[in-house]
Chains A and B, each alone.
Chain A
Amino acid sequence: MVKESKMAEMQRVGEVIEASTTDFVAQCYELYQIPPLGSLVKTGDLNAELYAVVCNAATTSLEPGRRPIARGKDETSEEEIYRSSPQLMKLLKSEFGALVVGHKKDAKLYHHLPPQPARIHSFVYQCTPAEVTEFGQSFDFLNILLNARLTVPTEELVAASLRQMSQAHQDPRVFLVAAGKELAILLSGNLNQLKAILGRIRQ
């Protein structure tokens, strides 16, 4: 038990600070410790686990309205800036948004939206390769990604998530080809988008 929670602890990347049915925003515990774009994260409670794909991220000032100012004129490197003003680390925060793509309830995985959104302050974990592989067995989530309103271009996010997921698979190419075929069907009416994505995941 102890060991398990410790494992979970290691992958914990942040905490939900804003949530809706389709997505949530989490704040990272460490500045710049943001899970990669397109990677699979999960959050939730005993009731249900939500799976989501990291769809954007930002590092901003903690206090709204106060913008950081440039400080490096007399320093020799970026590290030097943080070293001479350690309080900086406390004034900035990293956040990321994640698009909910599925959930797990009673040990069963669903590739569609959960009945409830995530709760504020619930912990967000990076999924393990085993979880990624399991989730990647169905490509139903692609449809959610393709139809979401996003701040990043859809092609970028879809490609990034597939690239991320492929890393967890034994043979990334086989996974990407299968995903590509699914996309070819989903995007049968949108050849340009298909080409754009395939170009970004080609092996």
Chain B
Amino acid sequence: MNERLGIVVSGSLTKGVEVKLDSSASIEDMVVGRFVTIEGQKRRFFGMINDVSLGVIDQKLTVTPPDTADPFIAEVLAGTSTFGTLHVSPSLVIGGDAIAILEGPQPVKTVPSHFSVVKLATQQDVELVFGTEDEKRFFIGNPLDMEVKLCLDLEEFVKRSNGIFGKSGTGKTFLTRILLIGMLQKSQAVNLVFDMHNEYGWAGTREGGPPVKALKQLFQSRVAVFTLDEENSRHRGVSTDGVVRIGHDEIEPEDIVSLRQTLNLTEPAVEAVYQVHRKFGKNWLQNTLDLKDSEEGRELLKELNIHESTFQNLRRGLATIRRLPFTEPNPPTNAVKAILEHLDRGTNVVLEFGRYRDITAYILVANMLSRRIYTQYQSRMEKATATAKDNLKPRPLVITIEEAHKFLNPEVASQTIFGTIAREMRKYNVTLLVIDQRPSGIDSEVMSQLGTKITCLMDNDRDIDSVLAGVSGRSELKSVLAKLAAKQQALIFGHAVPMPVAFQPREYGSAESYRDFIPGDKAETEKDIEELWE
């Protein structure tokens, strides 16, 4: 399908070009977000439709509209006296000579000449720009209104922290599952998913349908499911690879910082945490809670210069933590060690939260585990760099967190581990995949560090602005973003894609889709995977 749409009639590099629609092309078929090409005299441009408008040659027509009930008159006027215009922003260009073709598409530095023909992009165009499925490119969906595979270079993708956004129910979780499968297959990175709603490990929910399979069911030998709530996981028929218990002595003051809002702690209370930590050391939490309301206790507070009300505020908060069923004074296993062992082997880890879906539990656990894993990565990377031994470098790790604004809001982003990871790019081989429905709540600096952003429909202006901040062609992308379908449509832009493109994520959840995700037949896949271990 290489349909001619119209011709370029005006425009500029900064604002994009205006295209007068041919009368044979119906304006109603021209959806925003569609991928198009412009055949300039010497070069071909690639871009996206980001606005559609109606024009009349004579304003009188709008005052005294012709008798359009007459199909003859309507047909005559369409495309002549009345016409459609498209606004297209070209983002890439490819020259006509052999060298240019070898170099592939480049960012645009000019505009196509007057009356250049605009066409719908073809399969070859999509493949030229985004590549075809190969050992590092993964089929993530189809460009809007096209039956062509859109591929994402996942090796490139995992080099930076990335974000998936969209309002509730737009398909973030489904998209994330697709990307996790992609990373598992096409990149060297290993994933650690903090699975708040138990959607990624064994099975996920689907609106108005039976549950969908999740990672472990599809890639048994490459995925380990850990749980915070063994009973609940068993109840759901999930075969788990480990249970995570958090020792009270494993919780550190930094963990409390990010819980400030959820635990309702005052500023002084957070400061007091550091003081009691200095005083009691490792067992600070236990000791603080055990502190009696006695002369001795009061003395101590006085010594530490902690006000009584501050202390009560802190106690209430810490008591909430101690009540979390997965925390205990002396857990039998070391969760961090067990998870790291899996990650080192290249096994992807999903940590289910079971019934403990409240945000306190999620923030606490994700922070605590990530910080400790990150510390390990940090020291190993430093060792590898110091000794110049690349093989000592840990496998690249991608940590997936939901409700990212709880970790990365401006108030805590500078103090928590996730803020650090986002800012440091991949210095220590750890990056984030943040999923959020309220990106405006995320610190703008963190947002600007995200390499590739994939966003489903959003209707809050502040959220849209925060996702598009600092992106060139923002207003054009905004109009595309605002018009995405309510489900299963997204816009991807940034580091890992040559140009922004709106797409429909591939179908997830049918037997056929599972088959497509697993290359080769089942037995063969298992065999391939076995071979990977050697």
A residues adjacent to B (C-beta < 8 A): 173, 176-177, 180-181, 183-185, 188-189, 191, 194-195, 198, 202-203
Contacts and interface: CB of A to CB of B under 8 A. Distances in A.
Interface stretch (B72-80, B301-309, B345-353): B72-80
Contacts of B73: 180, 198, 202
B58 A177 contact: no
A146 B437 CA distance: 62
A184 B72 contact: no
A151 B140 CA distance: 70
B76 A195 contact: no
16 contacts: A173-B72, A177-B75, A181-B76, A181-B79, A181-B80, A184-B80, A185-B80, A188-B58, A188-B80, A191-B58, A198-B66, A198-B72, A198-B73, A202-B70, A202-B73, A203-B72
Contacts of A194: 81
A188 B61 CA distance: 10
B57 interface: yes
A191 B76 CA distance: 13
B70 A184 contact: no
B58 A180 contact: no
A188 B57 CA distance: 6
A183 to B, nearest CB: 8
Contacts of B60: 191
Contacts of A191: 58, 60-61, 64, 81
Contacts of A198: 66, 72-73, 76
Given A188-B58, A191-B58, A177 B76 contact: yes
B448 interface: no
Nearest to A198: B73
Interface of B: 23, 57-58, 60-61, 64, 66, 70, 72-73, 75-77, 79-81
Contacts of B23: 181
Given A184-B80, A188-B58, A191-B60, 20 more contacts: A173-B72, A176-B72, A177-B75, A180-B75, A181-B23, A181-B76, A181-B79, A181-B80, A183-B76, A184-B57, A184-B76, A184-B81, A188-B80, A189-B58, A194-B81, A195-B66, A198-B66, A198-B76, A202-B70, A203-B72
A195 B72 CA distance: 12
Given A188-B81, A195-B66, A180 B76 contact: yes
B69 to A, nearest CB: 11
A191 B65 CA distance: 10
Nearest to A180: B76
A180 B72 contact: yes
A202 B60 CA distance: 21
A203 to B, nearest CB: 5
A180 B60 CA distance: 18
Contacts of B81: 184, 188, 191, 194
Contacts of A183: 76
B40 to A, nearest CB: 25
A111 B66 CA distance: 31
A200 to B, nearest CB: 11
A191 B75 CA distance: 16
B23, B57, B70, B81, most chain A CB atoms within 10 A: B81
B48 to A, nearest CB: 29
A141 B81 CA distance: 20
A28 to B, nearest CB: 34
B353 to A, nearest CB: 65
A184 B61 contact: no
B367 to A, nearest CB: 67
A181 B64 CA distance: 19
Contacts of A202: 70, 72-73
Contacts of A188: 57-58, 80-81
A198 B74 CA distance: 10
A184 B72 CA distance: 13
B9 to A, nearest CB: 14
Contacts of B58: 188-189, 191
B72 A177 contact: yes
A180 B76 CA distance: 5
Nearest to A194: B81
Contacts of A185: 80
B75 A184 contact: no
Nearest to B81: A184
Nearest to A189: B58
B484 to A, nearest CB: 35
Nearest to B80: A184
Nearest to B60: A191
B75 to A, nearest CB: 5
Contacts of B61: 191
A163 to B, nearest CB: 13
Contacts of B80: 181, 184-185, 188
A139 to B, nearest CB: 12
Report, nearest first, the 7 A-B pairs whose CB atoms are least far apart: A180-B76, A184-B80, A188-B57, A202-B72, A184-B81, A181-B80, A191-B60
Contacts of A189: 58
Contacts of A176: 72
Contacts of B64: 191
B73 to A, nearest CB: 5
Contacts of B57: 184, 188
B202 to A, nearest CB: 62
A189 B66 CA distance: 15
Contacts of B76: 177, 180-181, 183-184, 198
B23, B70, B77, B80, most chain A CB atoms within 10 A: B80
A186 to B, nearest CB: 10
Contacts of B72: 173, 176-177, 180, 198, 202-203
Nearest to A201: B72
Contacts of A203: 72
A195 B60 CA distance: 12
A172 B461 CA distance: 53
A177 B75 CA distance: 7
B338 to A, nearest CB: 74
A177 B71 CA distance: 10
A184, A189, A195, most chain B CB atoms within 10 A: A184
A119 B42 CA distance: 52
A114 B77 CA distance: 33
A84 B57 CA distance: 61
Contacts of B70: 202
A171 B64 CA distance: 30
